Amino acid sequence: MTNTVLITGGCGFIGRHVARELLHENYEVRILDNLVDQVHGDVPAEPPAGVEFMRADIRDPEAVRQALKGVDLVIHLAAEVGVGQSMYEIARYTGANDLGTAVLLQEMVGSSVKRIVVASSMSVYGEGLYLSTSGERCGNVRRARARTQAALWDPVGADDEPLTPVPTDEDKPVDLASIYALTKFTQERAVLIFADAYGIEGVALRLFNVFGAGQALSNPYTGVLANFASRLINGQSPTIFEDGRQQRDFVHVKDVARAFRLALQEQKARGRVINIGSGRAYTITEVARLMAEAMDMPDIKPDILNKSRAGDIRHCFADISVARSLLDFEPRFLLETSLGEMAEWVRKSGARDRNSEMRRQLEERGLVA
């Protein structure tokens, strides 16, 4: 018997890839999406061929009720995305992410849904995991604002002890440094609490920085690679906050889509929170260089701002041991060898550069120092 999957936010960057992955595996796919302009202004709004599409807001109970009819499995992607914007559009982010999730779960009561997989985020960790000079795990590291204002970017331990960033595992305590992070943690906890109470299987995937062809290039609050690409295609230098040495993990959208499919299938995953990343660390300056090279613009160097944004963290990259164990997940598309397809997408699509607008909005609100 063929299972029917509802993907909320399924017309978005990740959602379209997830839909194609599931269609390839012979699932019946239904999408609920309200096609927000900020996300869909420069990317195809049409769902992939072969899916059933409903245009509606996740906060509309009647629409969600209709979308859930006959559904066996749910992948919950619908959300507003972006740390910076969440710090001043607080009601928008809380409404879409947390109220939207609440409506979805409420309408799932008494439904035929057997499992729900929710997209959480690495942002819930705040700073990643560090080791002290004695090798002690430091899971509650925060940067003092006075230090970042003095361009002392790296966090320190007691008595200004230097700390070494290491891969972040799921045991690292959550430390919510932005409104976006707060909403994503609320989403994941709500799903897992609900699933346990109602005998439904719940899984939360904490996604690290997702990249690939199809990102919303004119949305300055989307992934950093899309932001860099938008600058480059317009002949502008990518802008980098702080000194560019901050480290992140970048995972290809095709690997992410496969992870969602595995999270629907693997019984060992139920009730678990799982990191989905590449398991590798890249400096942001290195990422800008790789994107410029992929777009045949190696002479355009990044603009290092030496300024910090409220809500930003220094280092965070994934330990994916749990994903390997529970999902048999292994990344197949690494950043350094997989940017060609994205570069071609950018060249074909073009993009309006809204980076300056984003910076102005943050600076006007005192969120850049």
Query: How much is the pLDDT for 263?
Result: 98
Strands 137-138, 130-131: pairing kind: antiparallel
Distances (CA, A) of 315 to 15, 36, 75, 173, 369: 27, 31, 29, 15, 19
- Map residue 168 onto helix, strand or coil: strand
Measure the CA–CA gap between 291 and 353, rounded to whole angstroms. 16
Measure the CA–CA gap between 221 and 39, rounded to whole angstroms. 10
Sign for the CA dihedral angle at 332, 334, 339, 340 comes to negative
For residue 178, being part of any structural domain is answered with yes
- Give me the number of domains the chain comprises: 1
- Would you state the structure tokens that stand for residue 242, as one six-digit string? 């702080």
- Length of the chain, in residues: 369
pTM score, whole prediction = 0.92
Query: How much is the pLDDT for 86?
Result: 87
Mean pLDDT for the stretch of residues 239-263 = 97
Which residue in 127, 225, 110 sits closest to 177, CA to CA? 127
pLDDT per residue as tens digits for the range 190-242: 999 999 999 999 999 999 999 998 887 756 556 788 888 888 988 899 999 99
Residue 110: phi and psi, rounded to 5, are 80, 5
Range of the domain at 225: 4-364
For residue 169, being part of any structural domain is answered with yes
For residue 369, being part of any structural domain is answered with no
Residue pair 167/279 in contact by the 8 Å Cβ criterion: yes
Mean pLDDT for the stretch of residues 20-24 = 97
pLDDT level of residue 255 (50, 70, 90 thresholds): very high
Measure the CA–CA gap between 83 and 36, rounded to whole angstroms. 17
For residue 148, being part of any structural domain is answered with yes
Residue 362 has pLDDT above 60, yes or no: no
CATH (domain of 123): 3.40.50.720
pLDDT per residue as tens digits for the range 312-352: 899 999 999 999 999 999 999 999 999 999 999 888 876 66
pLDDT level of residue 364 (50, 70, 90 thresholds): low
